[in-house]
Structure 1
Amino acid sequence: MDVSEETVVVLTALPLERRAVRRLLEGLERVDQAGTVFERGRLPGTSWTVYLAATGPGNDSAAVITERAINFVRPQAVFFVGIAGSLKPDVSPGDVVVALDVYAYHGGKESSDGFKGRPRSWETTHQLQQVAMHVDSLDDWRLRLPEAKRHTTNVYFKPIAAGDIVLDAPAESPSRVHLDRNFNDAVAVEMEGAGFANAATKAGVPFLLVRGISDLANGTKQSTDGAGMQETAAQHAALFVTSRTAAFASSTRTRRWMPSTQTQTQT
């Protein structure tokens, strides 16, 4: 595929997350690659092309599809967008978290001495972090939220923890205690960010993870899901990512990414 100077990839895990993004694009057409169904569309009011695909749940699947998307599209940046559970009482359903770091919190060794953590972490791309902070400071992306949510939706720039389980347990549960003890600065938890970050880092492509908070990961997930918070959280995250994708156009327009087996060129 020809390299585009104004192309990004947006990945999601769940169909409802994908639907939240595709509703914000225009001119969508299906493009298949090695069995993965991508949709290619335009971000309204811009010249940016967006390739959208769902990875399915889990870090392993996210890593495979991220690598496939990068090699297929060769984008300027890749985003993972969707929902997550909150780990902090002040990070509420409907809020948006932009990951500064992604933690793979399940790595470790279990022995007679107990569990010894061997975590991995990845820092998301500084430039995309900065653009996201700029977008948040402008505040106009909130105008696209439902009116009742415009003044109550907060954006947090904090680490996100990614594991291999759906976490929905009280604070005293082993997983919650492990996270609080060893990853205390993480404010959200999900299941795909580590695989996504690992693949994007290895490919050398700018990447950012954005999550909308759908539940408190404390045993109340069934009730918040039943109240429609997954859809709300997915919508908020999608709006944040798509509202200002073009904001980093001026700083990326002259850069062209090539796969890691090739060299980067300046145009």
Structure 2
Amino acid sequence: MKIAIIVPMEIEAEYYHKYFHSGHKEMFGSTTFEHFCVNHNDLYIGLSGIGKVQAAMNLASLLCQLNIDLVFMTGTAGSLQPNIQKGDLILASSFAYHDAHNTLAGDYVEGQIPGEPAEFVLKSTVRTQFAQFLQHENIEYKEGLIVTGDSFIGSQAQKNDIKHNFAQALGVEMEGAAFAQVAYHFNKPLIALRAISDNGNQDANEDFDQFAQKVGAKAAKIICTYIEKMNS
């Protein structure tokens, strides 16, 4: 099986570099992927860069050149709900764009791009198996909608605007819906595990890098353990 793991930032990828060794590097799109062989699986780990365009461009470039069987997306997100706290894990069930406003252009809902689904639902056998692994290992996680936009959410006003349109959304970040849109069009299963690094308000930038590194490693450790146990 060929597995891709993509994260936006270097601080979110550090754990993977410590866990896997002796890989060689290959360039896809504008980013370098490290190629490892793990449990008879080919594993490609790369940075997408920050934002929707970088995420879509680099995942699409990889999928155009390699027949990837499974895409993991990890990294961090901000909380949108009072019961979602720093350090919590969210297994995304769907993604939408919180900065897509096309309701005046036709029969579209908030978050929908014309010609695309209202939400990109993540539903696959491998995702179900991963959720079962989390449950078997007694790893606590939340499951639900994550919304994506090209802005860092660092004020309560921004957070309130998003929650007005997406009351049920659990988290907010800058790449997930773009990954999900590319995976949808390439017909590739996507598993998205985000760790909460901040509360998405005026305190969001306090020690963000340090905490993002910590919770990014938390998500990465789970995925590395899962891949080690996967059958080829």
TM-score for the superposition, normalised by structure 2 = 0.87
Alpha-carbon deviation of 1:11?
A: 0.7
1:37 alignment partner in structure 2 = 32
Name the SS for the 1:222 alignment partner.
coil
Give the whole-Å Cα distance in 1 for the aligned partners of 2:208 and 2:160. 24
Rate the CA distance shift 1:206–1:223 in 2: closer, same or farther, 3 A.
same
- Going from structure 1 to structure 2, the CA distance change for 1:118 and 1:190 (only over 3 Å counts) comes to closer
Indicate which of 211, 219, 229 corresponds to 1:229. Answer: 211
Which residue in the other structure is 1:198 paired with? Answer: 181
Once the two structures are superposed, residues 12-71 of structure 1 have per-residue CA deviations (whole angstroms, 9 ceiling, x without a partner) of: 11111122222222322112235531101133xx22221011111001110111111112
Structure 2 residue runs of 5 or longer lacking an equivalent are: 113-117
8 Å Cα contact 2:127-2:190 kept in structure 1 = no
Give the conservation status (yes or no) of the 8 Å contact 1:214–1:224.
Answer: no
Distance 1:29 1:240 in 2: 23
Q: 1:176 aligns with which of 130, 135, 159?
A: 159
Note if contact 2:29-2:57 (Cα within 8 Å) is conserved in structure 1: no
CA RMSD in angstroms comes to: 2.1
Selected match of 1:135 from 133, 136, 141 = 133
> How far is the alpha carbon of 1:137 from its aligned partner?
1.2
Aligned match of 2:115: none
Aligned to 2:44: 51
C-alpha contact (below 8 Å) 1:37/1:53 kept by paired residues: yes
Give 2:191's aligned residue: 208
How has the CA–CA distance of structure 1 residues 246 and 127 changed in structure 2, closer, same or farther, with 3 Å as cutoff? farther
| Partner in structure 2 of residue 158 of structure 1 | 144
User: Percent identity of the aligned residues?
Assistant: 19
- The answer to whether the aligner puts 1:65 opposite 2:61 as a matched pair is no
Runs of 4+ in structure 1 displaced over 6 angstroms?
A: none
Partner of 1:220: 203
Query: Is residue 220 of structure 2 the alignment partner of residue 241 of structure 1?
Result: no
- Whole-angstrom distance in 1 between the partners of 2:206 and 2:28: 38
SS of 2:23 mapped into structure 1: strand
Give the equivalent residue in structure 2 for 1:147: none
| Residue number in structure 2 paired with 1:98 | 91
Unaligned runs of 5+ in 1: 1-5, 143-153, 254-267
1:24 corresponds to which of 11, 19, 25 = 19
- Aligned equivalents of 2:188, 2:102: Cα separation in 1: 31
Based on CA coordinates, which of the two structures has the bigger radius of gyration? 1
2:186 maps to 1:186: no
SS of residue in 1 equivalent to 2:119: strand
